[in-house]
Amino acid sequence: MKKNFRFYIISLLSFSFFALLQILDPPLIREHIESKTYDLRLQLRNLLQPQPPADSIVIVTVDEKSLARIGRWPWSRSIMALLVDKIAAGMPRVIGLDIMFNEKEDDKSDDRLAAAIRDSGNVVLATAFMIPKEGAPKKAQGNIPDFLWDSAFMQVKTVPGIAWKKWAVKPVEVIPPIEKLARAATLGHVATLPDMDGELRWEILSVNLGDDSYPSFSLQVARIAEGVPMKDMILHGGSGIKLGNRLIPTDLSGRALINYLGGEHSFAYFSASEVLDGNVGADVFLDRIVLVGTSALGTYDQKVTPFSANMPGVEKNANVVRNILRNNFIRKSPGIIELVTTVITSLLLILALPRLKATYGVILGFGLMGFYTALSCYLLFSHSVWANLVAPVSNMAVILTVETITKLFFEEKRAREIRAMFSSYVSPKIVEALISNPEKTALGGERRTVTILFSDIIGFTTLSEKMPPEEVVTMLNEYYKEMAEIIFYWDGTLDKFVGDEIMAIWGAPTDQPDHAERALRCAFHMSDRLDQMQEKWRAGGNRNIDCGIGINTGEVVIGNIGIQGKKMDYTAIGNHVNIAARVEKLNREYGSRILTTGNTYENLKPVLSRGAFGHVTFTEHEPVKVRGKEEDVRIFAVKPLKVDDL
């Protein structure tokens, strides 16, 4: 009943903390930690499983070398037109210009670049869609240029039951390229929405502006590279984007998790000045996807990613294009999976931990957390699935902490009770064994076969009459101390002192299959020690005392008997206890010191046959009649060994 009460208390406390954690836990903090653990798992994946290179995608970058060779940024549109011509001569699959051309230069230069783009026939231009930060006031959308509509999704399908427009990313302003460039190219937005820690983990594949939805720059690049017409790029609102025959899964907002190849320079880079100077052969771009952007300090928008604190935006786009072509975006497990996993693992611990010892509970808790962590890594490494780690593990950690502290409180309280109850009965080793198995100390008795030893002082009444009481007490205390230590040495349970009598038990409260052997060896040891004490007393001029020892083996009822919280004793009761006491008294008749019953002798036969006791004699006397026992009890006088022979 008491154990069940502790179980319910611990379970209730754990469940209460679990529920409180769900209510009070700030979701942004948990999401932040989850994102960081996701970054670590990605980095570990790339360390253990290096990602295959993306040979089909190259980057032409305006780097420091280019600025030193050509001049400060931005360059003239005529130079950019020459760069497009040089790249187009290599017959790439698509050219993506991740550069803003939203202001006019001069007609001649603008016309020159527009002609280069038109002649190439496969150029995608970046378009700025301004997304307000969370909490910032939103401006009304301005007029949308009609040439932008040509780049909008031609087909939009709504998944029944999903109000995707409610969740879609809605820019407040669009800053397109100048019209003559825009009409010569395909447009794609380059809007980004970093997480709250500033890291860019998601690609916004579609945004909703007015009545239309617009694809991202990277999506347009991938579409042209795959030769998919605009009409065959279909937005399935809230679930994904169909690009030809492949479906790109997205969340409700039209976002997809970027599966980064690594840090910056994970793709092949070519300096724009080298391309302009003809030092890069045109065949380098043959049938490749070429992205043009900036990487020189101060000329580009730095992206903070799980692998880099300053990745050029053009390389972020290269990663997204690679994800689309390889269909290997990372998918985030649904929130319901996180909730179910958290509830199941938490309930498992709530129900299991109170039934286990604190040590085993900690092993289970850390084992479960370790298993789930390994599982989340496996899902990411092998299946590109981001399974939330922090919510289940943090809940498990909280529950484990609460349950362990609560259990340690109960276990320490129980340990103190056991020490108080048994420290005077048994050796410290047995006490620790009982603390490890407290169920053996439950109130009430159990039937168990044990060996009982009784010992008392022969002629104690006469001795006490002839000696001063103080000397009697001193002698008794010395005798009891020595005998108790020997009983504890042989792992016996010191049941009680009654006047001049000692009662000890073997085989309880802990299991001792060799209980009869231990009891007899203890009797030999007690006898030998008494001889040594007698010599000491004689040398001091004191009177000697002698003792008789009786041993019996049989089934008794043993346990904590008494009133809980008031008075309890760990003792054995039953007929075999009475037999042991009766046999001890027979030593006076037979002039012996140690007597055992036939039950004990039969229990010792296997040990005796192995010669474990050395030279020991068992002399059988006439069976005796014991009150309450129908059959006569066989009696054996045993000659003790010296302690050196034990």
Q: Are residues 371 and 506 in the same domain?
A: no
Convert the pLDDT of each residue in 176-230 to its tens digit: 999 999 999 999 999 999 988 889 999 999 998 878 889 999 999 999 999 999 9
Give the number of other Cβ atoms within 10 Å of residue 497's Cβ. 14
Domain hosting 404: range is: 2-32+333-419
Same structural domain, 480 and 525: yes
Task: Identify the residue with better confidence: 499 or 326.
Answer: 326
What is the pLDDT averaged over residues 252-259?
92
The reply to whether 341 and 320 lie within a common domain is no
d(CA 552, CA 575): 10
> If you average pLDDT over every residue of the chain, what do you get?
84
Residues 75, 198, single domain; the answer is yes
Same-domain pairing of 355 and 443:
no
Q: Are residues 506 and 524 in the same domain?
A: yes
> Pick the residue with more confidence: 436 or 579?
579
pLDDT tens for 528-562 read 999 898 888 887 666 677 899 999 999 999 877 76
Residue 57 lies in a domain: yes
Percentage of residues in the chain with pLDDT exceeding 90?
47
User: Looking at per-residue confidence, does 512 or 300 come out higher?
Assistant: 512
Which residue among 369, 397, 419 closes a domain?
A: 419
Domain total of the chain = 3
Query: What are the C-alpha distances in Å from 407 to residues 7, 294, 363, 547?
Result: 9, 61, 14, 47
Q: What is the pTM of this model?
A: 0.68
Asked if the structure places residue 234 within a domain, the reply is yes
Domain annotation covers residue 302: no
Pair 280, 366 in one domain? no
Read off the pLDDT of each residue in 13-31 and give the average, rounded to a whole number.
Answer: 62
Q: Is the dihedral of CA 350, 355, 360, 364 positive or negative?
A: negative
Contacts for 247-252 with beta carbons within 8 Å, 24 or more apart? Answer: 248/205, 248/219, 248/324, 248/327, 248/329, 249/329, 249/331, 250/205, 250/206, 251/167, 251/332, 252/162, 252/164, 252/167, 252/168
Give the least confident one: 40-49, 346-355, 403-412, 610-619.
Answer: 403-412
Question: How many C-beta neighbours within 10 Å does residue 184 have?
Answer: 20
Tell me if 40 is assigned to some domain.
Answer: no
Q: Please determine, for residue 590, whether its predicted confidence score (pLDDT) is greater than 70.
A: yes
The band of 645, judged by pLDDT with boundaries at 50, 70 and 90, is very low
Element (H, E) at 407: helix 390-422
Q: Domain for residue 24, yes or no?
A: yes
Q: How confident is the model at residue 318 (pLDDT cuts 50, 70, 90)?
A: very high
Position 485 scores a pLDDT of 92
- Give the DSSP letter of residue 599: H
Within-domain flag for 312: yes
Tell me, yes or no, whether 436 and 401 share the same domain.
no
Residue 379 near residue 371 (C-beta atoms within 8 A): no
Residues 86 and 116 in one domain: yes
Residue 498 Cα distances to 454, 495, 509, angstroms: 11, 10, 21
Quickly state the pLDDT bin for 416 (edges 50, 70, 90).
Answer: low
pLDDT of residue 9: 61
Share of the chain above pLDDT 70, in %: 84
pLDDT of residue 33: 87
Q: What is the CATH number of the domain that holds 596?
A: 3.30.70.1230
Q: Does residue 42 belong to any structural domain of this protein?
A: no
Do residues 216 and 342 share a domain?
no
244 lies in the same domain as 321 = yes
Together in a domain, 510 and 571: yes
The reply to whether 44 falls in a domain is no
pLDDT of residue 500: 78
User: pLDDT at position 204, please?
Assistant: 94
